[in-house]
A and B are shown apart, each in its own frame.
Chain A
Amino acid sequence: MAVKTVKPYRFAPRDTVDKFPAPLLYIGWEDHMMFVSPICLPVPPDTPFQALMDKILPDAYGMHPDFAKIDWSKVQWFKSGKPFVPEPAKTLRENGLGHKDVIRFRTPGLEGIGGAYF
């Protein structure tokens, strides 16, 4: 469908990748709503996926007592809600992650503070 207007109506999208220091990646930790919502981070596309687990996620989520208990071999990943198997040695781009993609990870057995998904 299209917006009804009196004149031609076209505007450039405001959030294209060229406007950011790096493509945006959205990350959500399932069952842990202390972080309220998925987070939004600019991450260079040549970052290895392993760096996400080694550096970016600990910075973002390390304050949660569940974080230290994560068994990374059991973590389930999702991209746009669909199961996704990342290759840790490859970069984000090689793993098919682009600007404004959303990934989630589920850590089975960990359901937040008091089992209340927090």
Chain B
Amino acid sequence: MDTRVEKKKLSLRERYHLMTRGLGWEPTYQPTEKVFPFTAYEGIKIHDWDKWEDPFRLTMDAYWKYQGEKEKKLYAVIDAFAQNNGFLSLTDARYLNAIKIFIQGVTPLEYYAHRGFAFAGRHFRGEGLRVACQMQSLDELRHTQTELHSISVYNKFFNGFHNPLHWFDRVWYLSVPKSFFEDANSSGPFEFLTAISFSFEYVLTNLLFVPFMSGAAYNGDLSTVTFGFSAQSDESRHMTLGIECIKFMLEQDPDNVPIVQRWIDKWFWRGYRVLTLVGMMMDYMLPKRVMSWREAWEIYGEQNGGALFQDLGRYGIREPAGFRDACDGKDHISHQAWLTFYTYDPVAAFHTWVPSDAELDWLSAKYPESFDRYYRPRLLYLREQQAAGTPVANKNLPLLCNVCQIPMFFTEPGDPRRICYRESVYEGERYHFCSDHCKSIFDHEPEKYVQSWLPVHQIYQGNCFKPGTDPTAPGFDPIKAVLDYYEINNGRDNLWYDNSEDRRNFEAWTAEARGN
């Protein structure tokens, strides 16, 4: 009888090493720089790729197992929510306009992130880093799918949910998140990780996820909350990838410091500008509010961000160039954005409204420095005009910032009475910006941003009408033609909440569910 040989079980550490570092090899048929053409051109110097530390030590087989388990739970809740008409327990259908912005403007970014991390995973050297990027690429694809599935239940009952991917590529306000991510995806792999993993996911992510997921919980949206839980453990991995990448670059060579600093300056500001939409959602769109944008900024931006940059000081990194101006904006940007969307609601695929008196008082309490002085009178005027049957709508197209692509409604730091105008001339063409920081991004890489697809200019160039449209025909209505091109249902997806089909339906259905 043979002696039974005890099979040696690998330790977690050995197993991780074999399943990551053990998967790499040095190419011999082709020179390394041809196999990895993007690792050096950004100027980042790496001397030892093995110094990359992955704190999670997660291997692919374990990854599949965890994700599979989370998926089962998530889809059980999504089914239960749909079968029990869970949407009837929402605080109010106004809430869903925040979710419309999410599926129109954030979900497509998850897909872009999937592509970006697939690219980074392919083009980095160093197996630890490559495996981490590959996993994140899969996470992001999963988030795209699970968000679409969690939110699709609302598409059966409400407007503004039916065409998010078509809108993402065309509609004016969605060019803000779209151009942000395309800027990152067209960067080299190191800048991409600084942009997305560090600046967005490590520094700013709490300002995106906390409001959306707590907002969903506060407002009875069990479907979106469950998605949030399902994504949470992935997000913590993503955040760690961000900080590890920054430390890795900074520790490898002192020449990397100024390059990384410039990327942090750029991507902090790019991300902060995109989050304007989130600020507006927190202060205006949640019937039951979580906290104000100002409070969230003070905790997650000023305190946490401030501490982080102090910590990175030992590598020679300082706080991002736009940090002070971002702090200055905390009393204003959410109000300015909401007023913009209100007056441009005829061309947006979600509804806006004037807050109730109790909500105005909440805003006064949260914004003692700015709300009663600047924003309450504006909202009261909008309410008055709406009651008189002449709602204030802007018919002219706005000047957009050439970098962040947001209409130029931001005011001067320190002076909320004046719009902030900046401009540059490059090769004889003039370009306009909302801030010093967007201007500085342009001035550093003008060749990139002369290509900006600015929705307003595209409309005037005639590129936003359906084929066969004749702009010279008598009685041509450009706004209607653009809505047609966008495939926004005029009168249903757009315009103000008070007279919307969403409101009428929600009130009728909840009355039916709760009475006789």
Contacts and interface: CB of A to CB of B under 8 A. Distances in A.
Bound together:
yes
Interface of A: 1-6, 9-16, 19-21, 24, 26, 28, 30-31, 33-42, 60, 63, 80-81, 99-102, 104, 113-118
B43 interface: yes
B460 A40 contact: yes
Interface of B: 37-38, 41-43, 188, 336, 339-340, 343-344, 373-375, 377-378, 380-381, 392, 394-400, 407-409, 416-419, 421, 423, 427, 429-432, 443-445, 447-448, 450-454, 456-457, 460-462
Contacts of A102: 399, 421, 423, 432
* Chain B, interface SS category: mixed
28 contacts: A5-B41, A6-B37, A6-B38, A11-B447, A13-B427, A13-B429, A14-B454, A15-B452, A15-B454, A21-B460, A28-B421, A30-B419, A33-B339, A33-B419, A34-B343, A35-B343, A36-B339, A36-B340, A36-B343, A36-B409, A37-B419, A38-B421, A39-B398, A40-B460, A42-B460, A80-B421, A102-B432, A117-B417
A100 B396 contact: no
Given A30-B418, A39-B396, A100-B429, A118 B447 contact: no
A113 B377 contact: yes
A39 B397 contact: yes
A39 B419 CA distance: 12
Nearest to B343: A36
A41 B407 CA distance: 14
Nearest to B41: A6
Contacts of A14: 450-454, 457
A86 B511 CA distance: 61
Given A6-B41, A38-B398, A114 B381 contact: yes
Contacts of A3: 445, 447-448
Nearest to B42: A4
User: 7 closest A-B pairs (Cβ-Cβ)?
Assistant: A114-B377, A39-B396, A13-B450, A116-B377, A3-B445, A37-B408, A38-B399
A31 to B, nearest CB: 7
Contacts of A40: 396-400, 456-457, 460
A81 B421 CA distance: 8
A2 to B, nearest CB: 7
A61 B165 CA distance: 35
A68 to B, nearest CB: 16
Residue in A5, A28, A42, A100 whose Cβ sees the most chain B Cβ within 10 Å: A100
Contacts of A116: 373-375, 377-378
A38 B419 contact: yes
B42 to A, nearest CB: 6
